[in-house]
Structure 1
Amino acid sequence: MELRQLQYFVAVAQEGGFGRAAGRLGIVQSAVSQQIRRLERELGLSLFDRSTRHVRLSGAGERLLPEAHAVLAAVNRTRQMAADIVSGGEGLLRLGTVHGPGDRIYRLLDTLGGSAPRLHVRLRRLPVAERLVAVRSGDLDAALVRALPAAPELELLPVWTDPLYVAVPDGHPLATEPALHLEQLAHLPLRLAPRENNAPFHDLLTEALRATGSEPLPGPPFTNFQETLTAIGSSPPSWTVFYEVAGLPPVPRVALRPLTGLTLTTFLAVLPGPPAPPLRHLLRALADTDPGRPSHTAGAPGT
């Protein structure tokens, strides 16, 4: 059974004759008659009652006509959806996201929804290394990553930059400063998560310290945000650094200060080459989303 046979069947039924159907379809009458006969042979029944004056649907033809309409409508929907996918107006965007999306991700999704309302977005939260593997394999269309200087086989597009903040005991002399530099903190033990937890952020901070001529002074490991800040406020002096990702509750005996001279860049990891339509919409939304609006939340350097 061919789609054109169903199209001819519907046209003859609607026009009430082979000649009029052929005129509507822009083909010769013999081609319409031939394809209808082939369809009838394949189905094993007569679709029309033919006479010298009239062509009417048979009983079987009346039963099958709604099904033919349904098949042709489904084909048209499929074609339209395919065209929308090609243009980027419809489809699926699989995006690897960073931990604790914050309002910046929500603003991005809102912008994307406004420009491509029929584009479905599927967010996946994975460790950094797994995010990159998924982009390389095609399981993700793109992934957001922080502080990553390079990624083999991938292109890294900078999308926004966030400030960094420092936590120190509120009784320490540094707590009186409105902002802090890494050089001022180098003599204090640094509470930093193991490198395997987040190598890009770990390397960003330790290399920045070494660039000032100071070797990082290891302190107790960073565990989670609340526990680490509580320990800073109740233990011998130490410090940690964080960026904005999750809600920041007030912590007694801890001073939070901006860190000057070092920021955190978030990149979009993609495969090299022309972007597919869903990715084009994402890149446009990233360009249209205000990169300067800060998040109103804060959190720890996890992923």
Structure 2
Amino acid sequence: MDTELLKTFLEVSRTRHFGRAAETLYLTQSAVSSRIRQLETQLGVSLFTRHRNNIRLTLAGERLLPYAESLMSTWQLAKKEVNHSVENFQLSIGASAALWEAWLGSWLETLYQQRPALQLEARIAPRHLLIRELHERQLDLLITTEPPKMEELASLQLGQFSLSLFAHGPAPEDSPRPYIRLEWGADFHTLENRLLAGNTQPLMTTTSAHLSRRLLASTTACAFLPSDWQNAYPELQLIVDIPPLVRPLYAVWLQNSDQRPLIRQILKTPVI
């Protein structure tokens, strides 16, 4: 069905005049008559009775009228929604809370400075849940420290970041310093256990970097936090006998994702 035929039918039914309908639609009167004939041929019925300047809807035309109005209204709404999605670049991005707090929040600020019309959904969840959402196409892009080894997923290393062990205040006397375990990825636990031998029972486990930082002030605990936070938060005291840990950062998406062009565009903006 050509929506222009319905549009012409609705205008003729409103004006009850082929000439006035032609003026409103910026068409010739013969073009309007041709469109009405095409629509009548498709439906196999007459839609108007024509007696000189007295144009009236037939019974078939009366029955078509509400459907034509509904179809045109739906078509206009569909065009509006499609154009809106193209203009605003809908995209969902997922990562752990710690990555959002440490680096991805600033990255989003830069993206919106570059593309004010951008519309994003930022999701915070554990990595295994975000990978499942990728497969189910509920998520477009995953930022993680470990690229999943699955053929259907594409990945790109975005860079590296450094984590240092920080505390707030002196260590407790005659007892090991408590430890707050922050989720920086499954394979990170192997590295931290090797460095913190004998202190494997964490005071707390969390996914929030800012929560870990705040708790350092009210406890004697230590935690691995972004190394550059020492500049942003001078109260953090570096534990110098534990070397920094360097971690990779990856972007992951479905190889056949419809959002690949937009994903490539936004990944041109450095994350770290």
Q: TM (normalized to structure 1)?
A: 0.58
Map residues 31-70 of structure 1 onto 2, 5 A cutoff: 32-33=36-37, 35-36=39-40, 48-51=48-51, 53-54=52-53, 56-58=55-57, 68=68
Name the structure 2 match of 1:243.
Answer: 226
Judged with a 3 Å threshold, the aligned counterparts in structure 2 of structure 1 residues 47 and 119 are, in CA distance, closer, same or farther, namely farther
Judged with a 3 Å threshold, the aligned counterparts in structure 2 of structure 1 residues 201 and 110 are, in CA distance, closer, same or farther, namely same
Instruction: State the Cα distance separating 1:205 from its structure 2 match.
Output: 4.2
SS at match of 1:124: strand
Gaps of 5+ in 1: 173-187, 210-214, 234-238, 293-303
Map residues 25-104 of structure 1 onto 2, 5 A cutoff: 32-33=36-37, 35-36=39-40, 48-51=48-51, 53-54=52-53, 56-58=55-57, 68=68, 71-79=71-79, 81-82=81-82, 85=85, 88-90=86-88, 92-100=90-98, 101-102=100-101, 104=103
| Alignment check: 8 A CA contact 2:5 2:35 kept | no
Judged with a 3 Å threshold, the aligned counterparts in structure 2 of structure 1 residues 26 and 130 are, in CA distance, closer, same or farther, namely farther
Instruction: State the Cα distance separating 1:265 from its structure 2 match.
Output: 2.7
Instruction: State the Cα distance separating 1:6 from its structure 2 match.
Output: 1.6
Letter in 2 for 1:276: D
Name the structure 2 match of 1:281.
Answer: 262
Instruction: State the Cα distance separating 1:30 from its structure 2 match.
Output: 6.2
Alignment partners' CA distance in 2, 1:111 and 1:164: 23
Map residues 1-303 of structure 1 onto 2, 5 A cutoff: 3=3, 5-10=5-10, 12-13=12-13, 16-17=17-18, 24=28, 32-33=36-37, 35-36=39-40, 48-51=48-51, 53-54=52-53, 56-58=55-57, 68=68, 71-79=71-79, 81-82=81-82, 85=85, 88-90=86-88, 92-100=90-98, 101-102=100-101, 104-113=103-112, 119-146=118-145, 148=146, 150-153=148-151, 154-167=153-166, 191=179, 193=181, 198-205=185-192, 217-222=197-202, 223-224=204-205, 225=212, 226-227=214-215, 231-232=219-220, 240-243=223-226, 255-256=237-238, 262-273=245-256, 275-277=257-259, 279-289=260-270, 291-292=271-272
| Alignment check: 8 A CA contact 2:164 2:245 kept | no
Gaps of 5+ in 2: 206-211
| Alignment check: 8 A CA contact 1:97 1:143 kept | yes
Instruction: State the Cα distance separating 1:270 from its structure 2 match.
Output: 1.0
SS at match of 2:197: coil
Instruction: State the Cα distance separating 1:216 from its structure 2 match.
Output: 5.2
Instruction: State the Cα distance separating 1:113 from its structure 2 match.
Output: 4.0
Q: Deviations over 1:182-234 (max 9, x none)?
A: xxxxxx98947499x9413223545xx5xxxxx7513042315255675546x
Aligned residues: percent identity? 18
Alignment partners' CA distance in 1, 2:17 and 2:229: 68
Alignment partners' CA distance in 2, 1:64 and 1:75: 16
Judged with a 3 Å threshold, the aligned counterparts in structure 2 of structure 1 residues 228 and 119 are, in CA distance, closer, same or farther, namely closer
The RMSD of aligned alpha carbons is 4.9
Q: Deviations over 1:135-185 (max 9, x none)?
A: 123221121213x1543232232234332122258657xxxxxxxxxxxxx
Letter in 1 for 2:95: T
| Alignment check: 8 A CA contact 2:133 2:139 kept | yes
Q: TM (normalized to structure 2)?
A: 0.63
Alignment partners' CA distance in 2, 1:164 and 1:255: 13
Judged with a 3 Å threshold, the aligned counterparts in structure 2 of structure 1 residues 255 and 139 are, in CA distance, closer, same or farther, namely same
Name the structure 1 match of 2:208.
Answer: none
Alignment partners' CA distance in 2, 1:204 and 1:65: 71
